[in-house]
Amino acid sequence: MTFRLIAGAVVWSLLCLVAGGFVLSNIFRGSIQESFDDQLSFDLDGLIAAAEVDAPEHVSLQGRFADPRFERVFSGWYWQIDPDMPQSAEAQPETSRSLWDQTVIPESLTPGGNNAMWGYAVGPDRQRLRVLVRRIALPRTAQGIEIPETFRFTIAGDVTEMESDVAGFNRTLFWWFAAFSLGLIAAIAIQVRVGLMPLRRVSEALARIREGRARRLEGDFPAEIAPLASELNSLIAHSAEVVGRARAHVANLAHFLKTPLTVLANEAAASSGSLAETVIRQVTSMRRQVDHYLARARAAGALDVLGSRTEVGPVLSDLARVLKRMHPEKDLWIDVDVSPGLAFRGEREDFEEMAGNLVDNACKWAQGKIAITAGPLDGGRFFLTVEDDGSGLAPEERSRAVERGERLDESVPGTGLGLAIVSDIAKLYGGRFTLGEADLGGLSAQLELPRAA
């Protein structure tokens, strides 16, 4: 978004600057040319004022038109006076000294004001000349009678100087506009970045919520962003409320189902016969399925809550202490090694469910030693490993225990669903659960879960 805004503003600004540069260049060129044409008109007026007819088809200036530019040979400034309609072949044009023995032959002429004609010509030194031509009737006195004769007055000036001025102005304009463009681009970039900073703060706040470092959007936002932040906070609160109600319903359903199942199990246990055995088997199966799917439903609902963060170390320490007391007959030694600051990006209840099942399973099968380790992994994840020194499981038994939730030994209390529930909850969080052989000789259970920053 930042790039699109900056690129759009820069492209539009550069187009405006380029168009403005062309307009200014054309205005300056027009002004210079107008000034140049005014100078030609002024010189032509002076030339006409100094001219007198002293013979048929011939004029002289009587020394009254003196300008150094017209005296220097091939200076680029020239004047020329031609009879408009010469009657004899001997009639020659009068020219400035700067023309030497050359003449000015205008190219196509364009009519202008005051009976003037404007055009261009190639000078004697190959200069590009701006030409002004005007036909003027001058009186000639013969035997006391004034006879008008028409002459064509031509004045020309080298446009090289004018073009040089225009080129110099264009160079200056280009560099000034280039510097201005760079400053403008920098200003646009700063303005866009500063203008989008509140949205960046919203993004960072959402990242903190997603990572579990905050429960709501916090900070001061401008008036334009404040409604968005308020709506997001309301949405987060509503999501947490909905999940809370869902969890309460799940707990109520679990209580509602388990109580009748317990009654049925007790009644069946007090009876004998094939019917009682069938009831006990079916009630046991129903309990296992209820525990399994209620755990999955609770974990799935927790995934919709933003801002969930659970410290790993305190949970594992509490579980180790509680479960060690639940198995006093084994005198277990439980070692807990957790990296400082390690946190699970999820609900505490779900992490306790997974870790509790793993540690409880290790306590049931361990001979005396249990090792619990947890540390960070690359990619925003962490590992949790629970090992024991029990008899372990064969590779095919590990698959059955995780995927099918089968009880592999009826001598140990429990439903046999603990490892399957751990696998299901881990998958819901995008994690991974595997079983292997422990260094202590027994079973090694390893979890990979998302890590909170």
DSSP 400: I
What pLDDT was estimated at residue 87? 67
In which order are the strands placed within the sheet that holds 94-95?
94-95, 77-83, 145-158, 128-142, 116-122, 109-111
Opening angle at CA 227, ends 226 and 233, nearest 5: 90
Average pLDDT value for residue range 415-438: 80
Considering the chain, what percentage of its residues have pLDDT values greater than 70?
A: 85
Residues 221/200, Cβ–Cβ less than 8 Å: no
Check whether residue 42 and residue 182 sit in a common domain. yes
Check whether residue 43 and residue 168 sit in a common domain. yes
| Euclidean distance between CA atoms 391 and 408, whole angstroms | 12
CA atoms within 13 A on the CB side of 303: 14
Q: Per the structure, how many domains does the chain have?
A: 4
Q: DSSP states of 96-123 as a string? A: -GGGTT------SEEE-STTEEEEEEE-
What pLDDT was estimated at residue 211? 64
Domain with 77, as residue range(s), is: 52-158
Helix (H) or strand (E) holding 153: strand 145-158
pLDDT band per the 50, 70, 90 thresholds, residue 268 = confident
Q: Give the alpha-carbon dihedral of 329, 335, 336, 340, to 10 degrees.
A: 160
Q: C-alpha distances in angstroms, 371 versus 258, 367, 440?
A: 34, 12, 8
Q: Choose the weakest-confidence range: 151-165, 198-212, 223-237.
A: 198-212
Residue after which a domain boundary falls, among 307, 336, 367: 307
pLDDT digits (tens, 9 = 90+) for 299-342: 555 544 555 778 999 999 999 988 888 888 888 899 999 999 89
Domain of 379: which CATH number? 3.30.565.10
| Euclidean distance between CA atoms 435 and 447, whole angstroms | 9
Q: How many CB atoms lie within 10 A of CB 26?
A: 11
For residue 349, give both structure tokens: 């209840």
Strand partners, 382: 376, 449
What pLDDT was estimated at residue 375? 93
Check whether residue 240 and residue 332 sit in a common domain. no
Q: C-alpha distances in angstroms, 162 versus 35, 46, 75, 99, 159?
A: 10, 22, 15, 20, 5
* Amino acid (1-letter code) at residue 103: T
Check whether residue 46 and residue 56 sit in a common domain. no
What pLDDT was estimated at residue 199? 77
* C-alpha 435: how far from chain center: 45
Check whether residue 347 and residue 302 sit in a common domain. no
pLDDT digits (tens, 9 = 90+) for 10-39: 888 888 888 988 999 999 999 999 999 999
pLDDT band per the 50, 70, 90 thresholds, residue 293 = low
Check whether residue 132 and residue 192 sit in a common domain. no
Helix (H) or strand (E) holding 130: strand 128-142
Residue after which a domain boundary falls, among 256, 286, 307: 307
- Better pLDDT: 212 or 407: 212
What pLDDT was estimated at residue 171? 92
For residue 435, give both structure tokens: 């079983």
Check whether residue 232 and residue 374 sit in a common domain. no
Q: Tell me the H-state helices in 132-225.
A: 160-210
What pLDDT was estimated at residue 224? 75
Check whether residue 154 and residue 277 sit in a common domain. no
Check whether residue 98 and residue 224 sit in a common domain. no
Average pLDDT value for residue range 169-191: 89
pTM for this one?
Answer: 0.48
Check whether residue 346 and residue 421 sit in a common domain. yes
| Euclidean distance between CA atoms 377 and 178, whole angstroms | 51
Check whether residue 338 and residue 432 sit in a common domain. yes
Q: Is the pLDDT of residue 378 over 70?
A: yes
Check whether residue 237 and residue 317 sit in a common domain. no
pLDDT digits (tens, 9 = 90+) for 87-119: 666 667 888 888 888 888 888 888 887 788 999
| Euclidean distance between CA atoms 67 and 42, whole angstroms | 12
Which of 366, 384, 337, 375 minimizes the C-alpha distance to 441? 366
Residue after which a domain boundary falls, among 283, 307, 331: 307
